């Protein structure tokens, strides 16, 4: 009775939990294989660089990779990707670049490292030049603004000769400063130098063609010169840019001075 009960209970457990394989004898059990840990190539790379700093030669590098059970082809593939990430980063990495350059002479590994190092150093030089150029541009712009403000004060005070000298100084620092070209022309306009004024208005328009106020003032100067067709064309240009520009409509409607 007890034996039948035991078989019945065993079947219930098998239905509930499934059949379990019979355990193999100890000698036949398969060894449990642990998953391989990913290789920390970056750490190995910096160990390699430290070795080179200590005087390693090409043989030492190969021995290092063999000791770490690293295939050189796999390490090269990682190094190329690492180099692309460095170059894509905004960080300078100048010290690392110099160390990479010192890999030269270490076979293909050295060639790849040297190329990455040179590209990093070249990028660093370019970035520094760009930064210096930007600083120079900002400094020149600041100086131009100082001279522009001084000239504007002189213009308002009626010191047209002083204003012209200040505006010319501003243009030395920033030749594309179209507001200066405009007010320099306006100053000449007030002095009755209409032909010269037009030349300065044209220069302002060279840098900012959609400056509708300049087209209007330019038309006025041409009007004084008797260049009526050109004056009307200038007013029309102002209206093309700003159709609701009432002053331009008035001047265009007059036709002549």
Considering the domain architecture, whether residues 234 and 165 belong to the same structural domain is answered as yes
Q: Which residues contact 174 (CB under 8 A, 6 or more apart)?
A: 140, 141, 144, 180
Considering the domain architecture, whether residues 94 and 162 belong to the same structural domain is answered as no
Q: Long-range CB contacts (< 8 A, 24+ apart) of 145-151?
A: 145/170, 146/170, 147/173, 148/177, 148/179, 148/180, 148/183, 151/180, 151/183
Q: CA 235 to CA 248: how far, in whole Å?
A: 5
Domain presence at residue 98? yes
Task: Report the pLDDT value the prediction gives residue 164, as an integer from 0 to 100.
Answer: 92
Considering the domain architecture, whether residues 144 and 250 belong to the same structural domain is answered as yes
Alpha helices in the chain (DSSP H): 2-17, 41-53, 58-67, 72-88, 94-101, 107-156, 160-173, 178-190, 194-207, 212-224, 228-241, 246-254
Considering the domain architecture, whether residues 119 and 182 belong to the same structural domain is answered as no
Residue 48 lies in domain: 41-130
In CATH, what number is assigned to the domain containing residue 238?
1.25.40.10
Considering the domain architecture, whether residues 196 and 105 belong to the same structural domain is answered as no
Contact between residue 115 and residue 147 where contact means Cβ atoms under 8 Å apart: no
Domain presence at residue 216? yes
Task: Report the pLDDT value the prediction gives residue 12, as an integer from 0 to 100.
Answer: 47
Domain presence at residue 88? yes
Domain presence at residue 10? no
Considering the domain architecture, whether residues 115 and 151 belong to the same structural domain is answered as no
Considering the domain architecture, whether residues 144 and 239 belong to the same structural domain is answered as yes
**Other beta carbons within 10 Å of 151:** 25
Considering the domain architecture, whether residues 144 and 229 belong to the same structural domain is answered as yes
Structural domain ending residue among the three candidates 130, 155, 186: 130
Looking at the 3D structure of the chain, how many domains does it have?
A: 2
Considering the domain architecture, whether residues 168 and 90 belong to the same structural domain is answered as no
Domain presence at residue 18? no
Considering the domain architecture, whether residues 105 and 152 belong to the same structural domain is answered as no
Pick from 223, 230, 215, 218: nearest CA to 256: 223
Considering the domain architecture, whether residues 145 and 243 belong to the same structural domain is answered as yes
Considering the domain architecture, whether residues 165 and 94 belong to the same structural domain is answered as no
Domain presence at residue 14? no
Structural domain ending residue among the three candidates 103, 130, 157: 130
Structural domain ending residue among the three candidates 130, 155, 181: 130
Domain presence at residue 13? no
Q: What is the value of pTM for the model shown?
A: 0.47
Domain presence at residue 26? no
Element (H, E) at 1: none
pLDDT truncated to tens, each residue of the chain (257 aa)?
445 544 544 554 455 445 554 555 555 555 545 455 678 888 888 888 888 778 888 888 888 888 888 888 888 888 888 888 888 777 777 787 787 777 777 778 778 878 887 887 777 666 666 555 555 566 888 888 999 899 989 988 999 999 999 999 999 999 999 899 988 988 998 898 999 999 999 999 999 998 888 888 888 888 888 998 998 888 888 888 877 765 655 555 555 44
């Amino acid at each position: 009775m007890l034996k039948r009960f035991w078989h019945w209970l065993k079947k219930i457990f098998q239905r509930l939990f499934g059949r379990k394989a019979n355990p193999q004898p100890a000698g036949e059990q398969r060894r449990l294989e642990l998953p391989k840990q990913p290789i920390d190539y970056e750490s190995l790379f910096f160990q390699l660089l430290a070795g080179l700093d200590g005087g390693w030669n090409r043989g030492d590098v190969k021995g290092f990779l063999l000791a770490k059970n690293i295939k050189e082809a796999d390490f090269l593939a990682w190094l190329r990707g690492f180099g692309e990430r460095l170059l894509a980063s905004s960080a300078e990495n100048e010290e690392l670049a110099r160390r990479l350059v010192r890999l030269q002479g270490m076979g293909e590994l050295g060639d790849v490292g040297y190329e990455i190092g040179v590209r990093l150093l070249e990028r660093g030089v370019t970035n520094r030049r760009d930064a210096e150029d930007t600083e120079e541009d900002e400094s020149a712009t600041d100086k131009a603004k100082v001279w522009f403000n001084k000239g504007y004060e002189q213009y308002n005070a009626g010191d047209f000769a002083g204003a012209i000298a200040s505006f010319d100084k501003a243009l030395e620092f920033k030749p594309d400063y179209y507001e200066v070209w405009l007010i320099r022309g306006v100053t000449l306009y007030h002095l009755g130098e209409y032909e010269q004024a037009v030349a300065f208005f044209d220069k302002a328009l060279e840098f900012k063609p959609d400056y509708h106020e300049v087209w209007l003032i330019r038309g006025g100067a041409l009007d004084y010169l008797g260049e009526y067709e050109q004056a009307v064309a200038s007013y029309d240009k102002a209206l093309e840019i700003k159709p609701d520009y009432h002053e331009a409509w008035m001047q265009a409607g007059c036709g002549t001075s």
